[in-house]
Amino acid sequence: MFDAAGFYDGIDPISYEGPDTDNPLAYRHYDADRLVLGKRMEDHLRPSACYWHTFCWDGFDVFGAGTFNRPWHALEGQAMAEAKLEIAFEFFTRLGWPFFAFHDVDVMAPAENMVEHTENFARILDPIQAQMERTGVKLLWGTANVFSHPRYMAGASTNPDPEVFACAATQIRQALEATHRLGGENYVLWGGREGYDTLLNTDTTRELDQLGRMLSLAVEHKHKIGFKGPLLIEPKPHEPTKHQYDRDTQTVYGFLSRYDLLDDVKVNLETNHATLAGNSMDHEIAMAFTHGIFGSVDANRGDPQNGWDTDQFWMEPLDITRSMIHIVKNGGFKTGGFNFDSKVRRQSIDASDLFYGHIGGVDALARGLLAAEAMLNDGTYEAFLKDRYAGWDDQLGKWIMQDASLEQIAAKVEAGGIDPQPRSGRQEMLENLLNRFV
């Protein structure tokens, strides 16, 4: 039997010790039961640890081999998959978080072809279910990896070859059913290679129709099997492809309306993907709420000097607080949560490093949540916004929005009596206010 507990030797379950503790393996701010704006902190943040970065990746990068030397990576096939499962659930329970997330290929024995894939994936579902029942850890979302296998080099649903589309559809069907069976709360689709490397070899009209078709098939199947959670598209502008069709929230919204998918599909927003798209994370979150498609968040950050997904733990207080304000004031997560799509650096080779990353990450979110609470309770920010737009709740504003024609509006202005006075936007005052609570 694989000694999963041995890997974590000397690391006790992590508990809350408060901001003054010297213990680096304790939470300073993440206090699951603390009430924040009437709701437990854990229920606000709904933190989830992901399988892929922490248990699958061995530390390789494009210039070098794996550095982590994890004992389960030395095993093969089903034995490897089962050892990894034990390691993962030891980790989740030591963190004390409610959720985890996985791709099909993360949890199963490696497969060469689709027949093997089907067998190997099916074989790990009972053991996963047993671990979930034993520990009470729940599934935030499941997904299919339809970007790593060489067959997906030119895309999954957007592949020029319908046989590849069929393989992706098979993986999505199986992963969606597995997610449903395991009580998962959402199902994610990140279009890793749903884009292009050059337009010279790409028919974008066909490819977008194919992507729309795959999504429609997934929606149809979700209803057929009675899966209640939303499907979540995860926008990203590029990497690994030069251009990815699900560029950012507003682009995804346009796609969902075009293919009539708005009732069933929302977004899973990732901080680092917002950065890559040249957007801020609070922009992405605000747009998702504005369009009614906010689903979940992959918490991580990039590096301003690097143009790729460095997937570092998200530790930027101002940024987190700005994002948190939008989440909280719009009612928070429904089925989503903060999934840690984040990884330790390649030199962080010890088991303890995995904990430092996740502890620091959730503590940073907790601080952001508390700052957002203070800022909303203070009231200045929301009162300012209300006052700034007050004209639109008044007679003229309502008349413009609901009744008036262009002619009537112009006639009113031409008759005199409308002479707008400039008012300060108060950006510095608001930034100071934010800084006061962070």
Q: Which residues are catalytic?
A: 103, 106
Stretch (H or E) spanning 180:
helix 162-181
Is 194 an interacting residue with respect to Ni ion (CB under 5 A)? no
Task: Verify binding: residue 244, ligand XLS, rule CB under 6 A.
Answer: no
Binding site partner of 194, from Ni ion, ligand XLS, none, Cβ cut-off 5-8 A by kind: none
Based on the shown chain and the rule CB under 6 A, indicate whether residue 143 belongs to the binding site for ligand XLS.
yes
Give the ranges where 305-350 is alpha helix by DSSP (H): 317-329
Question: Does 104 help bind ligand XLS (rule: CB under 6 A)?
Answer: no
Interaction between residue 207 and ligand XLS (CB under 6 A): no
| Phi, psi at 412, each rounded to 5° | -65, -45
Binding to Ni ion (CB under 5 A): which residues in 296-335?
298, 309
373 binds, among Ni ion, ligand XLS, none (CB under 5 to 8 A by kind): none
Instruction: Compute the residue count for the chain.
Output: 438
Residue 246 near which of ligand XLS, Ni ion, none (CB within 5-8 Å, type-dependent): none
Mark the segment that binds Ni ion (CB under 5 A) among 118-126, 191-199, 262-270, 423-431: 262-270
298 binds ligand XLS (CB under 6 A): yes
* Cα dihedral value 285, 288, 294, 296, nearest 10: -40
Alpha carbon distance, N-terminus to C-terminus of the chain: 48
Nearest-10 Cα torsion for 107, 109, 110, 113: -110
Please list every residue from 335 through 374 that binds ligand XLS, using CB under 6 A.
341
CA–CA separation, 234 and 192 (whole Å)? 9
- Looking at beta carbons only, is 270 or 373 nearer to Ni ion? 270
Rounded Cα–Cα distance for residues 35 and 373 (Å): 11
Assess 246 for contact with ligand XLS (CB under 6 A).
Answer: no
**How far are the Cα atoms of 152, 165, 183 from residue 121, in angstroms, in the given order?**
18, 19, 17
The residue from 190, 255, 355, 437 that contacts ligand XLS (CB under 6 A) is: 190
Kindly determine how many residues on this chain lie close enough to bind Ni ion according to the rule CB under 5 A.
4
Q: Does 309 bind ligand XLS (CB under 6 A)?
A: yes
Q: Does 90 bind ligand XLS (CB under 6 A)?
A: no
Cα 421 from Cα 104, distance rounded (Å): 59
Q: Taking Cα atoms as reference points, which of 211, 195, 333 lies closest to residue 267?
A: 333
Handedness of CA 322, 326, 332, 338 (dihedral sign): negative
Binding residues for ligand XLS, rule CB under 6 A, total 10
185 touches Ni ion by CB under 5 A:
no
Q: Is 282 in the site for Ni ion (CB under 5 A)?
A: no
Cβ of residue 374: shortest distance to ligand XLS, in angstroms? 31
Identified binder of Ni ion from the candidate list 185, 194, 341, 363, rule CB under 5 A: 341
Number of CB atoms found within 10 A of residue 168's CB = 22
Binding site for Ni ion (CB under 5 A): 270, 298, 309, 341
Binding site for ligand XLS (CB under 6 A): 103, 143, 188, 190, 234, 236, 270, 298, 309, 341
